[in-house]
Chains A and B, each alone.
Chain A
Amino acid sequence: QKEVEQDPGPLSVPEGAIVSLNCTYSNSAFQYFMWYRQYSRKGPELLMYTYSSGNKEDGRFTAQVDKSSKYISLFIRDSQPSDSATYLCAMTLIKAAGNKLTFGGGTRVLVKP
């Protein structure tokens, strides 16, 4: 079993819909959680970064962490065709040597005009 599980998709939604993405993990020691967006033929770019449980909002993006359920989510409101990309969750321990990240496999999202 992988340490971090993420549905590969593709997840297809109409423009304007809410996109809901999630990851589950098995290591309760993970404390820092990130979401990256990766466009085709580009490197991942950081979208959201949260510590421990709770919600964080940035424009159209909301990240949620539920440590008791070992479950993290990313919501994209008013989705646009430009949001079509692969979304990767990542997490790390509180004192990871070299700040090593553990990644999910990524979910491909398609927003149709």
Chain B
Amino acid sequence: DVKVTQSSRYLVKRTGEKVFLECVQDMDHENMFWYRQDPGLGLRLIYFSYDVKMKEKGDIPEGYSVSREKKERFSLILESASTNQTSMYLCASTAGQYSNQPQHFGDGTRLSIL
């Protein structure tokens, strides 16, 4: 089974802090994704990466950046956290750059910005 592990289940940070969310997958997948999930808005794609050191903006990249230095690890960075970034953050991975394989998700990080 594919395992996608997010480093924290719950995180509380203060406004203005730099926040790092980490995600690791164990299946040698090429593609990794970061979403946020909010009630009434569903899953919204923040950034994705289809290879090491490659990244693409999703639908809502503002206020976020990402890093993919190794194939198995994809980090989401909130440069200066704000209260409107309080949300559930989900990481996902999938194999192949154009294989249309379904995405496998981690259990999420519930982030609160005070």
Q: Give A residues with C-beta under 8 Å from B.
A: 8, 31-32, 34, 36, 41-46, 49, 51, 88, 90, 92, 94-101, 103-106
Contacts and interface: CB of A to CB of B under 8 A. Distances in A.
Given A31-B100, A103-B42, A97 B56 contact: yes
Interface of B: 4, 31, 33, 40-43, 45, 48-50, 56, 58, 90, 92, 94, 96-108, 110
Contact of B43 (A31, A94, A97, A103): A103
A99 B42 contact: no
Contacts of A97: 50, 56, 97-98
Given A43-B90, A90-B102, A99-B98, 16 more contacts: A44-B105, A46-B102, A88-B43, A94-B100, A97-B98, A98-B31, A98-B33, A98-B56, A99-B94, A99-B96, A99-B99, A99-B100, A103-B43, A105-B40, A105-B42, A106-B42
A32 B42 contact: no
Contacts of A98: 31, 33, 48-50, 56, 97
B41 to A, nearest CB: 7
A88 B97 contact: no
